[in-house]
Structure 1
Amino acid sequence: MSATSEKVQTRRAPEPEILEEKRSRTERYTVFTFVFVPLLAVAAAVPFAWGWGLTWLDIAIGAVFYLIGGLGITVGYHRLFTHGSFRANRPLKIALAVAGSLAIEGGVIKWVADHRRHHKYSDHEGDPHSPWRFGDDWRSVAKGMFYAHMGWLFLDEQKTSPKRFAPDLLKDKDLVRIDRYFWVFVLASLLVPPVIGGLVTMSWWGAFTAFFWASLVRIAVLHHVTWSVNSICHTIGEENFAVRDRSRNVWWLAIPSFGESWHNLHHADPTCARHGVLKGQIDISARIIWVFEKLGWATKVRWPDPERLAAKRVAA
């Protein structure tokens, strides 16, 4: 449903304030069901496993790999390769492509093609993962949330063409090679944590717990955080900048997503290297890019333009 048609329906509704309140509650319940319930189940398992099935070593290994894979997605796959928010020298470019591959969210070329397609058709027909694909009533929202969160990975009828949406990446020999050997990085992401855990503890049990927590659980959490930007950040949150879709800012996802949940600004200014541009909006990925720039590894960084942001700002 387009933004225009939504406005028309809102005008015709007899009690728009009541309908909006009901829709808001439905959205929150849907978000809780699809995202928080599984995460709460994992959290509940922690105290039962602590000391025998979960150790500080497992947490440390998982945290390191979460940082590497997560920043590889946000700084590399997203801000560098998809939107060209900055230019990276060859070693940094390769390192970010490899780091993003360790997140096991797909090869860099397909990921970029899907995301560029998302921006071209955001929340309109053609968007590969809009939560508003099926409509605005509660059943449609529930179905759309699941589809945007992860269902589109299996059910998307229209496959994204890399030749159309990522022709520049197809011309980059380094990225083509990394994309071709994506399976190698999948194995590394799964197997290196248990190898470390096993060698440090000198036990098979240490390898097993590291595999469960630092490989499987870590990958699952990172995937859900990334998918939440597709689902939650297009369903609830604040609109600080004018956009043609339903992208919103969700503050409580900012840290685990490394700043990606400041999604409203991102859709208002997609090539901007910083998404959290307002006071108090923590954007870890932007800070990492800033460090790369200071080291001379990143150049031509597209930092926020105050005049451009002011023109897009929504009145409070």
Structure 2
Amino acid sequence: MTTTKTPTAAATGASMQAQKDGDSRARRLAYITVLTPAIGFVAAIWYSLHFGLKQQDMVLLGVMYFLTSFGVEGGLHRFFSHRSFKAGPVTTAIIGILGCMAAQGPILFWAATHRMHHVFTDQDGDPHSPRVLTPGWRGRLKALWHGHVGWLFTVKRSNWSSYVPDLFASRVVLFVNQHYLSWVFLGLAIPTAIGGALSGVEGAVGGLLWGGLARVFLLDQVTWAVNSIGHTFGKRPNQTRDTSGNIGWLALVSAGGGWHNNHHANPALAHNDYHFWQIDTTAWVIRTLGLLGLAWDIRQRQNTEPSAGPETINK
């Protein structure tokens, strides 16, 4: 007797296969995302050792790093993930493009992953919690590796879209998200073109390597360090149900993201600087946008009601 699958069983099998195919594509993309900037960083060092470290290259690195670090921390994180302020369509598009130029993933997936992190912080379901699951120093190193970059190769892509229905409702966000790869290439083309215009072929190569690939690599490490180091070390002045910590030196290079315990104490805020000495360049930019009328309803401690819990999400 021949057994045939029911339509429901066939559909389930097809869905499971599609999920496996999606996870396989995601792993391949993760390898490209991680390895390409790393190779570019090594190439940038080799290039400078052989042809000299140019001030122009460092300026392009610094400017592009500043712009895209705000795109990540101010855009992908505080604006899109937590909706900590509002902006018009043009400003939204520019912030989104700057975030995509960092090459850390499209807006929708970045925001969905981060919202999952807040819902399940340091528990099962957190995509990149550096939880120590086995005793000893090996367990700690394994946890740090997972929280830093290993999670990119294991994170499940199922049901992520259910975390960002508000972003799916925005045509501006969908447009920027759809053209993600174009913005990544734009982030490489801008320093290449500027370097070429200033110093010819040599300047173009230096701009591509330092303002493009090396910049992506360095910002990757900083952003991932907020996940790994920021949930392993640091001071915890605010009582939260997670292991988030404040790390001053990390805040300096992450545009304020290193004040991670402050952030987890109230994720809805547009700023992480609870004290005047806590440097948060992202908050400075957002406040400036507010003064210029380009951002409004900026959530700050003095005008934001306390969240219902330390992990309340502004969806």
Aligned residues: 268
Find the aligned partners of 1:249 and 1:134 in 2 and give their Cα distance. Answer: 23
Displacement of 1:279 in angstroms is: 3.9
Deviations 1:143-167 (A, max 9, x none): 01111101111122x2253431111
Matches within 5 A, 1:102-181: 102-132=101-131, 134-135=133-134, 137-156=136-155, 158-159=156-157, 161-181=159-179
Residue pair 2:73, 2:282 contacting (<8 A) in 1 also: yes
Q: What is the rounded CA distance, in whole Å, between the counterparts of 1:116 and 1:50 in structure 2?
A: 42
In structure 1, the partner of 2:196 is 198
TM-score (norm 2): 0.79
Q: Distance in 2 between matches of 1:82 and 1:49?
A: 38
CA contact (8 A) 1:54 1:213 kept: no
Deviation at 1:51, TM superposition (A): 8.7
Distance 1:163 1:53 in 2: 47
Aligned to 1:57: 56
Deviation at 1:206, TM superposition (A): 2.0
Return closer, same or farther for 1:246/1:136 CA change in 2, 3 Å cut-off: farther
Amino acid at match of 2:97: V
Matched, 1:257 2:257: no
1:207 aligns with 2:204: yes
Percentage of identical aligned residues: 34
Matches within 5 A, 1:193-272: 193-202=191-200, 204-272=201-269
Mark the runs of 5 or more structure 2 residues left unpaired by the alignment. 1-37, 311-315
Q: Displacement, 1:262?
A: 0.3
CA deviation after TM superposition for structure 1 residue 297, in Å = 1.1
Residues 178 and 133 of structure 1: CA distance in aligned 2, closer, same or farther (over 3 Å): farther
Q: 1:205 Cα shift?
A: 2.1
Question: Which residue identity does 2:74 align to in structure 1?
Answer: V
Gaps of 5+ in 1: 1-37
Contact 2:108 2:161 in 1 (8 A): no
- SS of the equivalent of 1:153 reads helix
- The answer on whether the counterparts of 2:109 and 2:161 sit within 8 Å (CA) in structure 1 is no
Counterpart CA distance in 1 for 2:84 and 2:93 is 16
2:223 partner amino acid: T
RMSD: 2.4
- What TM-score do the two structures reach when normalised by structure 1? 0.79
Report SS of the residue matched to 2:149.
helix
